[in-house]
């Protein structure tokens, strides 16, 4: 089996199990939390709060790239399926006109924001390397599938469109109008994931490694549990609307 075929095979496996891959980073994360707590002691609470807030904005910017992608695409594409590849339509307009993998770009920026919030440079480097190694193999598997399904149309789009770094000169307006309902229906899990990640990283750093009491932490960092509570309520509402009503349903999406 050639190296390319091996990487494609790995890509199919990684695609199926991608939700569990972050568990491989638990060890480095624990070491990074300890070092991050020491850095927080050195720079002070105010500087640390500003930094973490900036990192939160970075993560939300990554989510925004996903929202700007998903809001313009039709049904049968850009999904969260893990069982296998699927695509009924080839997206080549909107963000897909300037980069072939806008969802992965958004994912990377979102994850990078979380990693940077721990304030340890080598963790951000490890996370970036880990992401691009796994992404390379998943993209190869997806490209093989899309080439077989769409043929020369896909090949021509690949020839002119960058894999992960956007070329804004190639921009083409989306074929469909933006659907906020589609974004709300399909992307609330990512928002909740970011809120959960920042809450947990702040709690681990302050309660476990800085040994603050819960009362001290709630007094100093109340914004994180409040932010999490607001986002959790919002996402649970959207989940209910998605599962039990037709308010978020959009024909063709």
172 phi/psi in degrees, rounded to 5: -130, 135
Whether the predicted pLDDT of 38 surpasses 50 = yes
Give the CB-side neighbour count of residue 84, counting CA atoms within 13 A.
2
How far is residue 124's CA from residue 59's CA, in Å, rounded to a whole number?
A: 13
The pLDDT tens digits of the residues spanning 57-90 come to 999 999 999 999 999 987 666 544 444 455 567 8
* Helix-then-strand count for the chain, H and E: 9, 0
In the chain, what is the straight-line distance between the N-terminal and C-terminal CA atoms, in Å? Answer: 39
pTM: 0.87
DSSP string, 73-138: --TTSS----SS---SS---SBGGGT-S-HHHHHHHHHHHHHHHHTT-HHHHHHHHHHHHHHHHHH
Distance CA 60, CA 111 (A): 10
Q: Are 51 and 110 in contact (CB under 8 A)?
A: no
Q: Is the pLDDT of residue 179 over 90?
A: yes
Residue positions counted in the chain: 253
pLDDT in tens, 5-22: 555 565 555 556 555 566
Assigned fold of 3-177? 1.20.120
Q: What's the Rg (C-alpha) of the chain?
A: 20
Q: Are 182 and 250 in contact (CB under 8 A)?
A: yes
What average pLDDT score do residues 122-147 get?
86
**Model pLDDT, residue 1:** 46
Is residue 113 within 8 A of residue 127, CB to CB? The reply is no
């Amino acid at each position: 089996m050639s190296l390319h075929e091996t990487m494609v095979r790995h890509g199919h496996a990684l695609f199926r199990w991608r939700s569990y891959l972050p568990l491989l980073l638990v060890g480095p994360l624990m070491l990074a939390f300890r070092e991050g707590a020491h850095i927080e002691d050195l720079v002070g609470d105010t500087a640390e709060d500003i930094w973490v807030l900036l990192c939160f904005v970075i993560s939300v910017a990554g989510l925004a790239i996903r929202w700007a992608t998903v809001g313009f695409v039709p049904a049968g594409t850009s999904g969260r399926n893990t069982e296998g590849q699927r695509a009924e339509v080839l997206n080549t307009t909107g963000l897909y006109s300037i980069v072939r993998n806008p969802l992965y770009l958004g994912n990377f920026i979102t994850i990078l924001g979380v990693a940077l919030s721990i304030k340890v440079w080598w963790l951000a480097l490890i996370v970036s390397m880990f992401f691009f190694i796994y992404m390379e193999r998943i993209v190869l598997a997806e490209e093989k599938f899309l080439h077989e399904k769409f043929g020369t149309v896909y090949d021509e789009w690949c020839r002119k469109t960058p894999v992960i770094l956007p070329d804004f000169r190639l921009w083409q307006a989306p074929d469909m109008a933006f659907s906020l309902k589609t974004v709300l229906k399909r992307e609330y899990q990512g928002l909740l994931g970011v809120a959960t990640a920042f809450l947990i990283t702040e709690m681990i750093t302050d309660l476990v490694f800085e040994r603050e009491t819960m009362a001290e932490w709630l007094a100093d960092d109340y914004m994180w549990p409040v932010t999490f509570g607001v986002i959790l309520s919002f996402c649970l509402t959207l989940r209910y609307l998605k599962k039990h009503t037709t308010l978020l349903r959009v024909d063709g999406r």
